Structure 1
């Protein structure tokens, strides 16, 4: 489990913090390599390096050569946390992505201090869930620092969707959904306190050459604050660890944001955004829900109306017409749509936990197995259902857990 996520002093010490965090991350990797020893066989060393690249300190000259002096032709996009450039390292013949951070811009520097601290809190074994950080360049330019990432062949899900549409069959879409859910479940449940991604959308889900998912856009990751966290218990919501009137006021404001799903510092917000991604995977309309345009909101509202626990066939009205689905795949699409709808519940306290979502996506047919349309009290998407899904997921991995096969979700 990750160590506690400490707060950063982001004023006069911001630059020092950034340097300190970079050093800590790369020193940790050096330590790991020393512990492994130098007599590792070639095959295992090669395998390890493909999953967990050795962090490198690049020279400024290497960065300039790789990006053709930061040519506009190499520019991928400009962002709040830095500008991204395509690069090619001549020495290793590797394609990379270079992020240029302007240390004079406080918000940019803060975002990357947080991103680096996020990397430092992720265990080595779990780094494979996230975009691979290869190294850094801290010297050579007064105003800029650089981070170097592995280039992922398929790019981000949103921008590469149309280019790879023929390859986006239902099986691959399911793999993408599960991969993204695994990364988010790690942030929410394996980090202490829970980490909130804050930018869950198609552009933050990156794909390698095999369409395996790596979560990116980690510069917005924040710890879910303890003093403003809302904990539902048996229908009762309580605040805890509030010690002063100002904290109570801040907590009430956070509660209001939380109740209307507007706070970006809650895991429930990540769940809501992930629900939109699931809708996009089912409908094939990638990126449509990213905007706040009124027609897009209307489209999402109408789409959700077609997702019913009573009627599996209604899913045919929204499923991507390019998909070729047999009866089993159609049932899976229905299950995923039901998961998405529960993620998009207007009440954040009624949204499922990320680990339950992951269990449902790993076992979509079991998620709907036992559902009876004739039931007088359909409550498929209750907390009991989600806990059952977690149990089913555990059962699939362990022969010692016994669950009644025909248990009706209620």
Structure 2
């Protein structure tokens, strides 16, 4: 039997979902509960904070990118050995793509699929009784979901809280806690979201402070009583297959955006993941049979990477005989050069014919559905992959030609976006992060 769950969501982004989620996870973990963790949608930063708060790995649940068997298999990782599952939403509760019911990528799809009641975080700054109208709309918009109750965030005063609660009492929606307005609760951010957990100073102390606030400001017993749902069905499909049996994976402050379910799938298939740090000038171990360069922040460390001679030479040597794949930041490092925000151009590995720039920032964001142009480490020619792209860099060399492209891609709604990524020999790379397909 699966443990009960809750989905922490909000009507819009920047409402305080992550603050409330981490406070709840840490407080419940301190009570001795094994808290299963999940993040809805293609986010690779928040799961690391979940793991820091609970001591358990977190996973991504994506109703668009993941076929149902894979979605259930990944959800199974979250519920395994847990007393309770806490999932964090992304964007607004119902925000996703235009698609069939249950396939939009919205948080609500996950709540509906697993029966997890929604704990709705309301940022009430600038509103009082009117906040109840927003909550009522969320409660009634989708009959598939059930609202457990409300956590008020950014409450200005005791009087402000009374006014907001009066509006919610009128529509019969319970308030399960409140957090006062406090700028010190905000975690540091940069251009792709929160500063990574591994880089956040005094993270354990910050999490414990959030837990203290949860103990004093949230009705934890009532929240636990509202948890429910059936969780994933038994007999879920397989997790992603590994690109090799001993995989060198770049892992440091510049390379860290590898979806947890990918690594879990590789290990479940018997593969060994061997981390190495390009920032420490370490080459990929030569006793591995594949190398993976995840995304991250190479644009912030371009000078260090350009000067990492052992890493670059070792990567080139590795690529002569074995497959190497780079995602987003890893793709940039596999190229000829990377221009940083100051306009300085740094030589990279030169394994792919692409030059990238972070100087003139332009947001590239969205799902990518890719059809592979040729056999490669990601799968056979014609194979279908689903991934997600989120970066501010541009390709100075323009789009690839047909003879060198990794794949032909569309967006989530099937709009053609042309050719994307590069391949040369056994080296491949693209700006999208793989979620499903292999």
What TM bracket, shorter-length normalisation?
Answer: under 0.3
TM-score, normalised by the number of residues in structure 1: 0.23
Answer 1 or 2: which has greater strand percent. 2
TM-score, normalised by the number of residues in structure 2: 0.22
